[in-house]
Amino acid sequence: MNRVKRRIIEIDEEKCTGCGQCIPECPEGAIQVIDGKARIISDLFYDGLGACVGSCPYGALKITERLSEPYDERKVMENIISKGDNTIRAHLKHLHGHGEKEYLKQALEYNCVL
């Protein structure tokens, strides 16, 4: 897959306590706490909108620009579908709130084919 330079989250491991407060702020499922630290499990799931940044009480999250795999709405939906309706709703609300009409359309189309 072609990598592109785009906005993506950066996690400062020194500052991260693994408290998990950022996890609910990322309904796309891009972040998980693994071995006591927040980790991006796949760039494909990170939309670059920065919704999680303000949720970290320790200032461990910031937006940066780097080469990354492009965000993939279909992969996000595949990833979150098993997490239930509330997670899907939070994700759709997040897309709507940021005016991401194309991703919202893709998400709704994905949901319709299930």
Residues that bind ligand SF4 (CB under 6 A): 11, 16-22, 33, 38, 55-56, 58, 60-61
Q: Minimum CB separation from ligand SF4 for residue 52, in Å?
A: 7
Q: Minimum CB separation from ligand SF4 for residue 15, in Å?
A: 7
> Closest CB to ligand SF4 among 58 and 83?
58
Q: Minimum CB separation from ligand SF4 for residue 47, in Å?
A: 17
> Closest CB to ligand SF4 among 60 and 104?
60
d(CA 50, CA 30) in angstroms, rounded, equals 12
> Closest CB to ligand SF4 among 77 and 94?
94
Q: Which of 21, 65, 24, 17 is nearest to 43 (CA)?
A: 65
d(CA 42, CA 85) in angstroms, rounded, equals 22
Which residues, at least 6 apart from 69, have a Cβ–Cβ distance to it below 8 Å?
A: 1, 3, 42, 43, 44
